[in-house]
Amino acid sequence: MTAQSGSTDTDGAREAGARGTDEPRDSLQALYEDPATPVASGPDRSRRQARILARALGRTEPGVILDIGCGDGSAAATAAPILRPHRLVGVDWSQDALRRANRHLTAVRGGLDDPGLPFASGSADAVLFSEVIEHLVDPDAALDELRRVLRPGGHLLLSTPNLAAWYNRALLLGGVQPVFSEVSMRGIYGRPGKQVVGHLRLYTARALRQMLPAAGFEVVRMSGAPYHDVPRPFRPLDRLACHTPSLASILLVHARRREGS
């Protein structure tokens, strides 16, 4: 999903609609199946993630990369030339997104809850998980499922908004709801922004460094990325913050499935 004012570029936030109680699932389903809800990730971040993953995979035999929450497939289309000769397969829960994604790559319907992703255990060499985890009711079960489909030593590239971004720290001091956070499915309240995209959870760098090892992953590297909706005068500061991931707008995490996990 592409975020606008106050939310992030999200690839395939629609995965969230498959979990929770009936009422929240219904409201999330309506949001994620709405064609007006944007689903394309920004090309700059897609290229950044693809380069990280390409370096991690190296020039090995062609492998399988799953783009979980592929949205409309445009992010995968941007990443594909960088990731050759590896094969990209998209997965999304939204039928509307899949119709568009199949113009760019092979994409199949699947979710992270029971019965899980439609892939055998250990069948993937890498997983792209771009701005999905913040939309999930049960992120622990989602990470368990990603670990299942990855081969031992397989790569996970996760990105998510940073609750502790430099401007959110300032906003909280002023009593303002942080950017990226949402308190309602019906509107934006207490924070900058105009569009609801279904963020249920937000993470800091410290939280991810603790959560991923608990789920069977080794964090290899964490880096930061800028956010496109930062007002123009502050964009140089936002790019500078990327050098300190704990302050960056977006967290990019390269992790590996631990051997024997």
pLDDT at 261: 67
**Cα→Cα distances 123→60, 148, 161, 169, 189, Å:** 16, 9, 28, 41, 43
**Strand, coil or helix: what is 234?**
helix
Q: How far apart are CA 178 and CA 168, in angstroms?
A: 5
* pLDDT tens track, the chain, 261 positions: 333 333 444 444 444 333 333 444 556 666 666 666 555 557 888 899 999 999 999 876 889 999 999 989 999 999 999 999 999 999 998 888 899 999 989 999 999 988 899 999 999 999 999 999 999 999 999 999 999 999 999 999 999 999 999 999 999 999 999 999 999 988 999 999 888 888 999 999 999 999 999 999 999 999 999 998 899 999 999 999 999 999 999 999 999 999 876
Element (H, E) at 251: strand 250-257
pLDDT at 27: 66
**Residue in the block written with tokens 């999903």:** 1
Is 128 in contact with 15 (CB distance < 8 Å)?
no
Number of Cβ within a 10 Å radius of residue 31: 20
pLDDT at 61: 82
pLDDT at 95: 86
